[in-house]
Structure 1
């Protein structure tokens, strides 16, 4: 077996050669979640072909600026005379409802994106709502708030609806992702719904979802509607109309406006932007969440966003950052190459702003780090546009492949190696989520990096459940194998004995 450095260098060289030839191909494996083996598949294909794939008007719930607010976004047919409206009630018959109005912007041809925020939400309450599209109220749906100060979240990575393209199903069909025939999206949307249903059946008190990017797969530019069928599959999942989802912009989301038209993210900083949008943040109970668009490599802007978030909510017990690119992961495809382009710049920022946990995606493998800190030395900064799109504006496909690049990225120290958790620890925990749908998997890098405590690749959809209160952050990670749920890592806990951060 090649050494880690030689293996990574050989892989990068092969990637460069393929990219220069005009056909960059990832080392995606033959493993994927084949939905055609499920007994509900035939009924799903009829539903997908007849309705779901054509319905771009599904609603998305996202966290508001704090736990008492909730944001809504949905497409409707273009109608400049209609004011977007959501009605909220504590009664299932929608009696004594409160109406909230919002604004609309032009979306893809023939559609507008509607955005509304509701406020004054109470904890431990079931709410019913309906929204107006094309002048008519939707069917009544519901969502439930839980304890604001002690709650659970579902953390997932890379649903990437449509990424199973090119795989062959149990029925001998090769999955495609053409705009008009996206059988890959059909396969992956089924799996996404199955993962959410499985996770929620086991954890019915989840407050919201954290998705570490790549909601969809198809890279299209600007306002090209070519990925709308994949967003339709993502938003069609049963729980999406009842669970807020906080999403990160992944490299597959980054080049297209549809992301920001489907998700009404709070506290939009207008920093760290790509075509899809930029950095945002919100508070929920004892935690501050900062979501950075690391497809933009301007870390000065990311620092501005982090500073703005901390100044807005200075006294939260926990600070959690979510990014797509894994600056500390263990997957073969990214963790020692483009994933760490921002490591030298972001690691000191996690120290400076006292970040407890960083949630990552991108590498389609699972890993958990030790607690890490910056080594406080000066290191080179690297700027390179995401290689997934092979559009480096500087002209080189992947310029950082030499030993000095690897040496500069040894910019961390391992602050704590306790395996089950840490009390009043110093440093930042870095989590890497495997694919929640199994639409695409990567290999682990051959040699486990010294900063990695635990890692795995079992070729099954995974999800994590995070429990948080004023004193504890705890995470459990599961895989769905053969219809059964099983843990793939021990519970890991961060504890703080002080009542508040300051």
Structure 2
């Protein structure tokens, strides 16, 4: 079955030959951001920006909102009201935000957050947030409905770099294919970080994802690039969570206890439980055992038909020399024992899918990438995963309707790359059905090296 797919992929690549980044390519590598050095394009102002809604533990009853302003704004308010067809939606409820300061290369800013509780399930709300004598536009978001209602959600692998330039198009194409999406999952490494322009990178991430962040609930997993190396190249070197994470995302505080901010958490959305785990903390900070114990309890208490585990580093890596052993030893047995449906991952900047070692329908393990950085597949991944892809920006649409979960992976231009359905047969367990109609052929990297001359990557 793989030979026709490879031939189709090679035929598709032939048309891209003029774009190959070989030694004679005269193009310059694109910078990581669109902002010239020394320019404070993303400095905070009195106008609210970086607005993002995140789910409460029970997404039918609440959500949280975080946003940013300059330091003139302290303890602003959020207004919320049931959305209506008239511009007169009635008197809104007002909630005062908690505020924290952050100093970055773009200057000092205030980050605000509000937890909105006591909402009605399946209800469309309008909300806005306050700045300095200013307000954001009214934005609309719907709480989770009944467990029997269909659910559409999006999943993105690493966005990481060149977000304004190249992630934007993926997000907008995703919205064309999932116009009813209510929830978006990010598998970590939202930005690259650690290069002196962290805040500008976050500004571009919010620019790229603004249409999602304000109108549906966003659930990010932390990646290794959300951390930084403190005391690097010294005996005191250690991983530390970056300053932006705890201020920019108001996440549920129901994970394992960690200093600074939650990087593990769970929430329920209709007939789905989503559990976010922190691969970097498990691998580098020794929390794998604690996370496994916590994960076991969260999955055991799941009252819903469907479950998703979201994390950054893969259990099965499609890139060479990346065996994440503590994840495999501590956390993977918990996931397989509880029959998690989807394990959604990033980190390796390629695409790869595989099932459990015992051949069961679930869990289905997926690694994907939305951003510009593209790695190469390992020989083992080409033998053990299908489909796989290099040199391809992707987004994923997941639809849950009763006893069926449909998964689609699409390219940045909207072409169908991978698709399957999970069907819950009740006492007979879940079955996986491959959906091959309309899928394009396998995509492999056509370049011998990147524009910077790196042969270990396909694009940077």
- TM bucket, shorter chain: 0.7 to 0.9
Secondary structure of 2:204's counterpart equals helix
Q: Which residue, out of 420, 429, 437, partners 2:371? A: 437
Deviation at 1:134, TM superposition (A): 3.3
Q: Does 1:192 align with 2:167?
A: yes
Does the 8 Å CA contact 1:102/1:114 hold for their aligned counterparts? no
- Structure-2 residue corresponding to 1:60: 52
CA contact (8 A) 1:322 1:358 kept: yes
Which consecutive residues of structure 1, in runs of 5 or more, have no partner in the other structure? 1-28, 38-43, 162-186, 373-412, 417-424
Q: How does 1:1-400 map to 2 (within 5 A)?
A: 51-52=41-42, 57-68=49-60, 69-78=62-71, 82-91=75-84, 93=87, 95-109=89-103, 110-122=108-120, 125-134=123-132, 136-144=134-142, 148=146, 149-161=149-161, 187-219=162-194, 226-237=197-208, 238-239=210-211, 240-254=213-227, 255-271=241-257, 273=258, 277-297=262-282, 298-310=287-299, 313-332=301-320, 336-370=321-355, 372=356
Q: SS state of the match for residue 154, structure 2?
A: strand
Contact 2:352 2:381 in 1 (8 A): no
2:438 aligned with 1:446, yes or no?
Answer: no
Shift of 1:276: 5.9
1:488 and 2:417 correspond: yes
How many Å separate the matches in 1 of 2:64 and 2:135? 18
1:469 to 401, 411, 425: 401
For residues 300-343 of structure 1, give each alpha carbon's deviation from its aligned partner in whole angstroms, at most 9, with x where no partner exists: 221233244346x53111121101001113123xxx42544421
> For residues 500 and 137 of structure 1, do their structure 2 counterparts lie closer, same or farther at Cα, with a shift above 3 Å needed?
farther
Residues 492 and 262 of structure 1: CA distance in aligned 2, closer, same or farther (over 3 Å): same
- The aligned residue for residue 410 of structure 1 is none
- State the 1:233 CA deviation: 0.9
State the partner residue of 1:180. none
TM-score (norm 1): 0.66
User: 350-359 or 113-122, which moves further after superposition?
Assistant: 113-122
Residue 447 and residue 80 in structure 1: after superposition, are their counterparts in 2 closer, same or farther (change >3 A)?
A: closer
Q: Matched residues in 2 for 1:251 and 1:274: separation?
A: 16
Shift of 1:270: 4.1
Contact conserved, 1:82 with 1:135, CA < 8 A, in 2? no
Secondary structure in 1 matching 2:381: coil
Q: How far off is 1:280 after superposition?
A: 0.5
Report what 1:16 is aligned to.
none
* Cα distance between partner residues in 2 of 1:280 and 1:62: 12
How far apart are residue 232 of structure 1 and its match?
A: 1.0
Corresponding residue for 2:444?
A: none
Q: Say which is worse superposed, 152-161 or 96-105, in terms of deviation.
A: 96-105
Contact 2:187 2:220 in 1 (8 A): yes
Once the 2 structures are TM-superposed, how far is the Cα of residue 260 of structure 1 from its aligned partner?
1.6
Partner residue in 2 for 1:384: none
Report how far residue 36 of structure 1 moved.
11
Q: Report how far residue 265 of structure 1 moved.
A: 1.0
Alpha-carbon displacement from aligned partner over 1:477-498 (angstroms, at most 9, x marks no partner): 0112xxx321112x21111122
Q: CA offsets, 1:350-380, max 9 Å, x none?
A: 133332221100001111112x1xxxxxxxx
1:257/1:276 contact within 8 Å kept = no
Paired residues, number:
373
Three-state SS of the structure 2 residue aligned to 1:414 is coil
Following superposition, the deviation at residue 203 of structure 1 comes to 1.8
Q: CA deviation at 1:122?
A: 4.9
Name the CA distance, whole Å, in 2 between partners of 1:61 and 1:269.
19
The answer for the alignment partner of 2:453 in structure 1 is none
Query: Quick check: 2:182–2:216 contact (8 Å CA) kept in 1?
Result: yes
CA contact (8 A) 1:89 1:95 kept: yes
SS at match of 1:266: coil
**Whole-Å separation in 2 of the counterparts to 1:308 and 1:448:** 32
TM-superposed deviation, 1:286 = 0.7
Q: What is the TM-score of this pair, normalised by structure 2?
A: 0.72
How far apart in 2 are the matches of 1:53 and 1:477? 36
Contact 1:274-1:295 within 8 A present in 2 as well: no
The C-alpha deviation readout for 1:407-466, integer Å capped at 9, x for no partner, is xxxxxx3323xxxxxxxx4x41111112x132x010011233654232111x23210101
SS at match of 2:170: helix
Alpha carbons of structure 1 residues 30 and 251: separation in structure 2 relative to 1, 3 Å: farther
Contact 1:326/1:340 (<8 A) preserved: no
CA RMSD of aligned residues (A): 3.3
Residues 1:147 and 1:234: Cα distance change in structure 2 (over 3 Å): same
